[in-house]
C-alpha cells in the first residue's frame, strides 16, 4: 500500500523542513520526501495549496469511557480527533473506574484498537482512585502502556505526596501532569475572580489559586529532579513562574489550551455555561502573556483539555453546570489565529501541536522523517467556514466557539499510512 502526497507545503519542524515537496508513504511509514517523487503504483493525493505536516497530537483529552459514556466514548472522541486533524491523543485517568490499574489501561487500548482511527495513549492516575493518598501502581501502569501520570481534574494537594510520587515516577521515566489549583484559595469559585465576577455576582477564583500551585510544583520538580508538566496554563503569573524555572534548568514543561489565548472572562457574560471551565477563562492581560509564553517557548505545546459533557448537564445555572469545554474539532482553526496574528509561524504552530507533544511524552509520530510512522495531517489553510457544534463528531456540544467564523481546517488525516478522515468523512482502518 503506497500513498503519494503531491506538491503540498510540507512543514516538519522536527527536521527543519518547510518547502513544497512530495511525501511518499509505504507500508505505514514515511518512505521518502523529495521535490518530485514518481510512484506509478501509489494512490495519489493532490496537496497543492495545502499544508502537509506530521499528524497533530493532543496530550490532554477526556474521553469519558469507561463510566461516562453518555458524555463521550472512545469511539466518538477519536472520531472527533481525526476530524480535527489529530492522529494521537492522550486521555486522562478520571474515568469510572479510574485508570489506576492495568485492567483499565488495557481496556482503553483495546477499545482504541477496535475503533481504529487515532492512536490513544492512556494517562495513568498518580494516586489510587485520584484520592491523593496512596500511589497507583505506577510501574505496572507503565508496563500496560501509560505515557504519563495525572490526577487531572483534581490537584495533588499533599505536597509530601507529590514529592514521593515524582521521585517514584522518575524511575519509570514518566512525567506527572499537574492540574495546578489551590482548592482552599479557589473555594466555591466558578469563574475568574475579576471585574466580570463582581458584575455577575458569581464567586470567583483568583489567578493566584493556580500560581501558588505552579510555584509549588516547580519547587518539588527542582527538589526531586522529576519531570512535571503543567496542564492548562491560564494566567500571566504562571507563565512568568515557568519561564524563570526553565531558565534555572528545572525539568518543567507546560501546555495551554486554545480557549486560554482566545477567550476572556467576558465569555461568561449572560451566564454562558459553555464558557465554564477549570481553570477559568481569565483576562486580556493573561491572553497576552500566554501568547508571549507560546512565542518564546515557555509554553511548550497546545493541548485542548477536551472535556465533553451531556448537553443537559450544561442546561442549568452557571453555578450548577459542570466545568469543561470540548476542543478537538476546533483546536486547529482557533490556534491558527496565532499564525494569522503573527504570534507564531506555521512551523512553530505545528511544532506545538505535533512535534513537541511527541518529544515530551515519547510518542510515535510528530515527525515526517523517513522511517517514522506515517501519521500525517493535511490542512487547507484557506478554507473559511463557520463553526457549527451540531456538526461535530463528538457526542458533546459544549463549545464556546460555536458560530465563530474561522479559517483553516484539516481536510485529510492519515494514520499509519491509511486515510482515516477525508473531507468530512470518517474512514476507520480495518484490522
Partner 1 sequence: MAEGFNKSHLLGIEELSAAEIKFILKTAEAMKEISFREIKKVPTLRGKTIITFFYEPSTRTRTSFEIAAKRLSADTINISASTSSLVKGESLLDTAKNLQAMQPDVLIIRHPHAGAPHFLAKHIEAAVINAGDGMHEHPTQALLDALSIIEKKGGIEGLEIAIIGDIAHSRVARSDILLFTKLGANVRIAGPLTLIPPYAEVLGSKVCECIEEALEGVDVVIALRVQRERLKQVLFPDLREYAIMFGLNRKRLSLTKKDAILMHPGPVNWGVELDPEIMNMDRTIILDQVTNGVAVRMAVLALVAG
Using CB under 8 A as the binding rule, whether residue 319 contacts partner 1 is answered as yes
Least distance (Å) between residue 399 CB and partner 1: 18
| Binding map of partner 1 across residues 268-297, x = CB under 8 A, - = no contact | --xx--------------------------
- In this chain, which of 73, 197, 253, 354 binds partner 1, going by CB under 8 A? 197
Residues between 92 and 111 that touch partner 1 (CB under 8 A): none
**316 interacts with partner 1 by CB under 8 A:** yes
Single residue of 36, 38, 41, 201 touching partner 1 by CB under 8 A: 201
Q: How far is the CB of 308 from partner 1 (least distance, A)?
A: 19
Residue 159 or 198: the one with the smaller Cβ distance to partner 1 is 198
Find the shortest distance in angstroms from Cβ 182 to partner 1.
Answer: 15
Residue with Cβ nearer partner 1 (75 or 193): 193
75 is a contact residue toward partner 1 (CB under 8 A): no
Q: Does 198 bind partner 1 (CB under 8 A)?
A: yes
Tell me the number of residues near partner 1 by CB under 8 A: 21
Is residue 195 involved in binding partner 1 (CB under 8 A)? yes
229 vs 276 by CB, closer to partner 1: 276
* Chain CA centroid to CA 13, Å: 18
Pick the binder of partner 1 from 55, 85, 122, 204 (CB under 8 A): 204
Report, in Å, the least distance between residue 414 CB and partner 1.
42
Query: Under a CB-based contact definition with an 8 Å cutoff, are residues 182 and 212 in contact?
Result: yes
- 188 is a catalytic site residue: no
Stretch that binds partner 1, among 39-47, 197-205, 219-227, 256-264 (CB under 8 A): 197-205
Cβ atoms of 207 and 232 closer than 8 Å: no
List the one residue from 143, 158, 296, 320 that touches partner 1 (CB under 8 A). 320
**Residue 193 beta carbon to partner 1: minimum distance, rounded to whole angstroms:** 6
What is the widest separation between alpha-carbon atoms in the chain? 67
Of residues 38-67, those binding partner 1 (CB under 8 A): none
Interface residue with partner 1 among 16, 312, 342, 425 (CB under 8 A) is 312
Cα separation of 295 and 292, whole Å?
A: 5
Q: Grid coordinates 495533588 are at which residue?
A: 156
Is residue 193 within the footprint of partner 1 (CB under 8 A)?
A: yes
Which residue in the list 305, 351, 375, 380 is annotated as catalytic?
305
Sign of CA dihedral 208, 277, 151, 80: negative
Binding positions for partner 1, 243-272, rule CB under 8 A? 270-271
Q: Which of 54, 175, 194, 293 binds partner 1 (CB under 8 A)?
A: 194
Instruction: Find the shortest distance in angstroms from Cβ 179 to partner 1.
Output: 24
- Residue 191 CB, shortest distance to partner 1, in Å, is 10
The verdict on 200 binding partner 1 (CB under 8 A) reads: yes
Q: What residues are labeled active site?
A: 305
Instruction: Give residues in contact with partner 1 (CB under 8 A).
Output: 193-195, 197-204, 206, 270-271, 312, 315-320
Amino acid at each position: 500500500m503506497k500513498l503519494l502526497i503531491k506538491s503540498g507545503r510540507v512543514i516538519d519542524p522536527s527536521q527543519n523542513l518547510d518547502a513544497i515537496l512530495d511525501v511518499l508513504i509505504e507500508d505505514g511509514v514515511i518512505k521518502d520526501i523529495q521535490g518530485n517523487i514518481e510512484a506509478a503504483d501509489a494512490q495519489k493525493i493532490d496537496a497543492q495549496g495545502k499544508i502537509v505536516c506530521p499528524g497533530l497530537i493532543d496530550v490532554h483529552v477526556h474521553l469519558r469511557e469507561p463510566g461516562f459514556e453518555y458524555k463521550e466514548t472512545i469511539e466518538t472522541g477519536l472520531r472527533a480527533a481525526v476530524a480535527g486533524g489529530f492522529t494521537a491523543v492522550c486521555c486522562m485517568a478520571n474515568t469510572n473506574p479510574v485508570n489506576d490499574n492495568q485492567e483499565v489501561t488495557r481496556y482503553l487500548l483495546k477499545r482504541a484498537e477496535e475503533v481504529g482511527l487515532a492512536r490513544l495513549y492512556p494517562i495513568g492516575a498518580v494516586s489510587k482512585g485520584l484520592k491523593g493518598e496512596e500511589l497507583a501502581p505506577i510501574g505496572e501502569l507503565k508496563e500496560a502502556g501509560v505515557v504519563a501520570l495525572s490526577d487531572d481534574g483534581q490537584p495533588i494537594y499533599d505536597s509530601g505526596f507529590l514529592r514521593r510520587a515524582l521521585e517514584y515516577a522518575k524511575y519509570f521515566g514518566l512525567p506527572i501532569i499537574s492540574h495546578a489549583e489551590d482548592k482552599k484559595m479557589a473555594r466555591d469559585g466558578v469563574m475568574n475572580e475579576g471585574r466580570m465576577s463582581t458584575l455577575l455576582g458569581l464567586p470567583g477564583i483568583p489567578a493566584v489559586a493556580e500560581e501558588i500551585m505552579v510555584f509549588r510544583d516547580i519547587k518539588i520538580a527542582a527538589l526531586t529532579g522529576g519531570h512535571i508538566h503543567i496542564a492548562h496554563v491560564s494566567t500571566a503569573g504562571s507563565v512568568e513562574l515557568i519561564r524563570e524555572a526553565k531558565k534555572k534548568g528545572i525539568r518543567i514543561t507546560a501546555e495551554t489550551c486554545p480557549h486560554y489565548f482566545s477567550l476572556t472572562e467576558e465569555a461568561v457574560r449572560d451566564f454562558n455555561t459553555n464558557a465554564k471551565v477549570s481553570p477559568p477563562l481569565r483576562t486580556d492581560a493573561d491572553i497576552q502573556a500566554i501568547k508571549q509564553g507560546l512565542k518564546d517557548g515557555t509554553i511548550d505545546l497546545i493541548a485542548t483539555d477536551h472535556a465533553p459533557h451531556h448537553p443537559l448537564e450544561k442546561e442549568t445555572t452557571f453555578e450548577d453546570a459542570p466545568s469543561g469545554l470540548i476542543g478537538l474539532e476546533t483546536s486547529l482553526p482557533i490556534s491558527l489565529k496565532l499564525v494569522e496574528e503573527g504570534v507564531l509561524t506555521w512551523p512553530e504552530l505545528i511544532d506545538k501541536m505535533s512535534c513537541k507533544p511527541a518529544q515530551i511524552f515519547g510518542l510515535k509520530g510528530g515527525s515526517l522523517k523517513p522511517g517514522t510512522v506515517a501519521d500525517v495531517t493535511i490542512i487547507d489553510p484557506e478554507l473559511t467556514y463557520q463553526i457549527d457544534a451540531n456538526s461535530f463528531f463528538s457526542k458533546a456540544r459544549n463549545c464556546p466557539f460555536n458560530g465563530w467564523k474561522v479559517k483553516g481546517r484539516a481536510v485529510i488525516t492519515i494514520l499509519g499510512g491509511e486515510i482515516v478522515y477525508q473531507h468530512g468523512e470518517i474512514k476507520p482502518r480495518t484490522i
